[in-house]
Amino acid sequence: MTTITADTANTEKSPTTEKGFIALSEKTARLLATGGGALTALSAFLAWTWTTAYPGNLTVYGYPGGLQVLVLIGGILTTLFGLASYGVKGLSWLAPAGTDAAIKLSALAAFVTTWYTVVSIVVELGALVDLEPGAAFAALVSLAAVIGAFALPFKRPALEGPDPDDNDWDKFKHEAGNKWATFKASFATGPVTPAKVLPAWTEILLIAAVLGLGLLVFTYGITTAYQELFIGFLITTSFGAAALNKAGLMARLTTLTNRHRNVALVGAFAAAAAFPLTQTDDQYASLGVNILIFATVALGLNIVVGLTGLLDLGYVAFLGVGAYTAALVSGSPNSPFGVQLPFWAALLAGAAASMIFGVLIGAPTLRLRGDYLAIVTLGFGEIFRISMNNLDGVSGPDVTNGPNGVANIPNINLFGFDFGAAHTFLGFTIGRFANYFLLMLAITLIVVLVFRRSAESRIGRAWVAIREDETAAEAMGINGFRVKLIAFALGATLAGLAGVVQAHVQYTVTPDQYQFANAVPPNSAFLLAAVVLGGMGTISGPLVGGALLFLIPNKLQFLGEYQLLVFGFALIILMRLRPEGLIPNRRNQLELHDEAAAPTVLGKAGV
User: pTM here?
Assistant: 0.85
7 confidence band (pLDDT: 50, 70, 90)? very low
Between 493 and 526, the more confident residue is 493
- Strands in 439-503 per DSSP E: none
Question: What confidence tens digit (pLDDT) does each residue in 177-210 have?
Answer: 777 778 777 888 878 777 777 788 888 899 899 9
Rounded distance between C-alpha atoms, residue 205 and residue 33, angstroms: 33
572 confidence band (pLDDT: 50, 70, 90)? confident
Rounded distance between C-alpha atoms, residue 525 and residue 251, angstroms: 30
Decide if pLDDT at 407 tops 60: yes
Decide if pLDDT at 165 tops 60: yes
pLDDT in the model for residue 8: 38
Query: What is the rounded average pLDDT for all residues in the chain?
Result: 85
Q: What percent of the chain has pLDDT over 70?
A: 91
pLDDT in the model for residue 589: 63
Decide if pLDDT at 32 tops 90: yes
The closest of 342, 362, 72, 368 to 232, measured between CA atoms, is 72
Q: What percent of the chain has pLDDT over 90?
A: 34
pLDDT in the model for residue 458: 92
Question: What confidence tens digit (pLDDT) does each residue in 349-405 have?
Answer: 999 999 999 998 888 888 777 788 888 888 888 899 999 998 887 877 888 888 888
| Angle 214-215-218 from CA coordinates, rounded to 5° | 85
Which residues contact residue 490 at a Cβ distance below 8 angstroms, ignoring those fewer than 6 apart?
300, 303, 355, 358, 450, 454
Question: What confidence tens digit (pLDDT) does each residue in 433-480 have?
Answer: 888 999 999 999 999 999 999 988 999 999 999 988 888 988 888 888
| Angle 241-296-605 from CA coordinates, rounded to 5° | 65
| Angle 213-216-222 from CA coordinates, rounded to 5° | 140
Quote helix, strand, coil % in the chain, to nearest 5: 65, 5, 30
Between 562 and 137, the more confident residue is 137
pLDDT in the model for residue 172: 76
Rounded distance between C-alpha atoms, residue 483 and residue 304, angstroms: 11
225 confidence band (pLDDT: 50, 70, 90)? confident
Question: Within 13 Å, how many C-alpha atoms sit on residue 494's CB side?
Answer: 28
pLDDT in the model for residue 468: 86
For residues 580-585, give the mean pLDDT: 79
pLDDT in the model for residue 499: 93
pLDDT in the model for residue 533: 87
Q: Which of the residue ranges 90-99, 233-242, 261-270, 396-405 has the most confident prediction, judged by mean pLDDT?
A: 233-242
Asked if residue 297 lies in contact with residue 495, where contact means CB atoms within 8 angstroms, the answer is yes
